[in-house]
Amino acid sequence: MALKIAQRGLIDPFIVMDVMRAANELAAAGEDVLHLEVGQPGTPAPQQVIAAAHNALQDELLGYTDSMGLPELRQCIAQHYSSVYDVAVDPARVVVTTGSSGGFLLAFLSAFEAGDRVALAAPGYPAYRNILTALGVEPILLETTAAERFQPTPRLLRAAGGNLDGLIVASPSNPTGTMVGSKELEALVAWCRSTGVRLISDEIYHGITYGSPAVTAAGLDDDAIVINSFSKYFSMTGWRLGWMVVPEPLLRPIECLTQNLFISPPSLSQHAGIAAFDSGDELAGNVARYARNREILLDRLPKAGFDRLAPADGAFYIYADIAQMTNDSPEFCRRMLAEAYVAATPGVDFDPFSGHKFVRFSFAGTEDDMMAACQRLADWRR
């Protein structure tokens, strides 16, 4: 008799990882593949971070840390909110996590029961809805369009009906790069407060913006859960380090969860991460490179036929409407990779409603790769 497989594991895949595997297989076979599929900085960790990691390897035991993270790192994160946002955050409310992914798991487990309903925008980061589903929490997808800048609004939330328990907001957003402005975020906070809905603010692309700076929910709502990461702005994806700012009543539940699920975040990454906050010049250089890459794609993609683009306010993505080219974005991306050797992510990864007619390009790589990709796409589309 076949043994049972738990239903919680039968969730949708994270398609971008499947695309990356196919791209890597082509590259291993000797093809010159351009990677515009994965949202991963093409730069290493800052030099001071690397130096701090070397020092920690020499000088530290690198055993378990406090489950909530090194006190010095928590203090640095709290100071970051003061210096960047002019928002006072008590270091006691900072929880260091195993990447933002660990933060989402802890947030969802501590804030929601099985059967609760949590709203989020579509298109949006697929791991939100997949983790919620695995935990028995129902994701309520808000079908957004360019008219809402692909972001949730009080109107869409009211249309979703009552009995919501949570709302996830991402600004800048993956995959669209759009941002929620100060007034719009205040309106969402007010709506959550008036309806008893828990706000979870994904701020992992803060620092990577091309106009107005991003607004943190930490300065607007003490009941919100704010999640950030060292992966994107700090260019430390593989170090698996993130953080949360959490309401005081959730501190002990989250501590108990992280003790049992993770014991503690990676200690080497924590010691090194302290130095990330002293790497501003290097990080600003990375953002300047993203800005150049963004301009290349915004200028050259339309010449290749990709002329319906979401506003890329932040992050490092261009979300393109390709309805005039195809109604099957997975097949379109498969052909793009096989024939032009340009890897991109089909919109169905982010949006079950309209994702079949969208594709996401990441511009986190090199300037040369962006220019080469645009030329290949132009040639391919002729």
SS3 of 41-101: the string is: CCCCCCHHHHHHHHHHHHHCCCCCCCCCCCHHHHHHHHHHHHHHHCCCCCHHHEEEECHHH
Which helix (H) or strand (E) segment holds residue 138: the answer is strand 138-143
Residues 181/189, Cβ–Cβ less than 8 Å? no
> What is the pLDDT at residue 17?
86
Residue type, 88: A
Are 273 and 196 in the same domain? yes
Record the pTM: 0.95
Single out the residue in 236, 256, 278 at which a domain terminates: 278
> What is the pLDDT at residue 309?
96
Structural domain includes residue 2: no
> What is the pLDDT at residue 158?
95
Single out the residue in 227, 256, 278 at which a domain terminates: 278
Structural domain includes residue 62: yes
> What is the pLDDT at residue 147?
93
Q: Using alpha carbons only, what angle is made at residue 131 by residues 244 and 101, rounded to the nearest 5 degrees? A: 35
> Could you tell me the residue range of the domain that residue 127 belongs to?
47-278
Are 35 and 54 in the same domain? no
Are 273 and 318 in the same domain? no
Residues 282/51, Cβ–Cβ less than 8 Å? no
> What is the pLDDT at residue 114?
97
> What is the pLDDT at residue 293?
97
> What is the pLDDT at residue 216?
98
Q: Please, is 344 exposed, middle or buried when counting C-beta atoms within 10 Å of its C-beta (0-12, 13-18, 19+)?
A: buried
Structural domain includes residue 292: yes
pLDDT in tens, the chain (382 residues): 889 889 888 888 788 888 999 999 999 999 999 999 988 999 999 999 999 999 999 999 999 999 999 999 999 999 999 999 999 999 999 999 999 999 999 999 999 999 999 999 999 999 999 999 999 999 999 999 999 999 999 999 999 987 999 999 999 999 999 999 999 999 999 999 999 999 999 999 999 999 999 999 999 999 999 999 999 999 999 999 999 999 999 999 999 999 999 999 999 999 999 999 999 999 999 999 999 999 999 999 999 999 999 989 999 999 999 999 999 999 999 999 999 999 999 999 999 999 999 999 999 999 999 999 999 999 999 8
Q: Distance between CA 31 and CA 172 in Å, rounded?
A: 33
Q: Residue 346: give its domain's CATH number.
A: 3.40.640.10
Q: Using alpha carbons only, what angle is made at residue 68 by residues 62 and 70, rounded to the nearest 5 degrees? A: 45
Within its chain, how far is the Cα of 372 from the centroid?
A: 26
Q: Distance between CA 274 and CA 352 in Å, rounded?
A: 39
Structural domain includes residue 128: yes
